Amino acid sequence: MKAIVTGSSGFIGSRLCYYLEKEGNTVLKVSRSSKLGSPNDLICDLETTTLDIETMLGVNTVFHLAGYAHDLSDPKKSENKYINLNINATKNLAMQASEAGVKRFIFISSVKAGASDTLLHRLAEEPESIYGKTKRKAEIELIQLSKKTEMKIFIIRPSLVYGPGSKGNLLSMKRAIKQGWFPPLPIIKNARSMIHVDDLVRAMMLVHAKGIDGEIYNVTDGKDYSSTEIYETLCKITKKKLPKLRTPLFIFKILSCIPGGVNQRVIKLLGNERYSSSKINSLGFYAKLRLGNLNETLF
C-alpha cells in the first residue's frame, strides 16, 4: 500500500507512520515543519496551500491527522486558523484525493465533535468549543462528499490519547505529580474514556480494512477512568507514593465556581467524558493496553 499521512510528525502521526513502514508500506509523510530526512518527507502547510496533484497519484489511502487544537483558552483569536485547518484543509484534501483516484480517506476527528455512539445513544451532535465545532463541520463535509464519490471515507473519533510521549493535559499532570506539586486528589466519582496511541493505530487499520463508508467510529480502550484513578496510576508510573492525606473534594468544587482559567481546569477534572466504542467493537476491535501501560508499546 502507498499512503499519505498528514500530521506525520505529531504524537499519533509518528506512531502511525512507524507502523505502516514496519508493515512494508510506502508512506508519504506530510508535515508543516518536519525536516526533510528522505524523499518521502513532504513539507506542506495545509492552512495556506495544497499538495501537488502528482503527489496523490498511485496513493491508495490518505490518513488525515493534521489539524489545529491549540489556544483553547482564547479560541476567538485563532478562529480563522481553526476554520482553515480543521474544515477547509480537510475538505480540499479529500476532494483532491477523490479526483486523484485514492481509494480510502481516513479522517482523525475527535470525540469533541459530538456525542455519536456515546453510551447515551442518539444524542444530537452539539459540540461546544470551536475545536469541536470545526471538527464536526469537517465531518459533515466529508459525509456529504462520501455520497458523491467512489472513494471510501471513514471518520475516527479518538478519546483522550495516551502512550509514550503523551502531550497536553496528561503530560502536564504527569509532570506535576513527578515534581511533587500536583494536589492529592480525593475520591472523584467521574468517568473518562481514553485510548493508547498504539491501540488507536490498530483501530485505524481495522477501519481501513472493514469500515463502513461514511461512518463515524469512536475509539476508547473500553475502560472508564475516574480522575482519581488517573492520578493514582500516574503516581505509580512516576514512582511517587500515594499521599495519606487528600485535598477535600469541597475545595475543588469551590474552585470550580470561581471565574478565571483555574475553574475551567477544575471543571474538566471533575467532569465526565465517557464514550462508547460499540461501533468499532462490532468490527472486532478490543484494546490491548490500559493507562497502566502508558510507557509500553505494541510495535
User: Do 263 and 128 fall within a single domain?
Assistant: no
Q: Is the pLDDT of residue 259 over 90?
A: no
Residue 152 — φ and ψ, nearest 5°? -80, 135
Nearest residue to 218 (alpha-carbon basis) of 281, 135, 125: 281
Question: CA 116 to CA 113: how far, in whole Å?
Answer: 9
Q: Confirm whether 18 is domain-assigned.
A: yes
Q: What is the pTM of this model?
A: 0.93
Q: For 66-109, what is each residue's pLDDT tens digit?
A: 999 875 556 666 888 899 999 999 999 999 999 999 999 999 99
The C-alpha cell of 241 is what?
507514593
Q: Which domain holds residue 246?
A: 168-189+226-270
Residue type, 56: M
User: How many structural domains comprise the chain?
Assistant: 2
Helices marked H in 157-259 — which ranges? Answer: 168-179, 197-210, 227-237, 249-255
Q: How far apart are CA 114 and CA 239, in angstroms?
A: 36
Which CATH number is 38's domain given?
3.40.50.720
- Taking the C-alpha atoms of residue 44 and residue 34, their distance in angstroms, rounded to an integer, is 9
Grouping H, G, I as helix, E, B as strand and the rest as coil, residue 100 is coil
Q: What is the mean pLDDT of the chain?
A: 91
In terms of domains, do 36 and 118 share one?
A: yes
Residue 92 lies in a domain: yes
Confidence of residue 126 (pLDDT cuts 50, 70, 90): confident
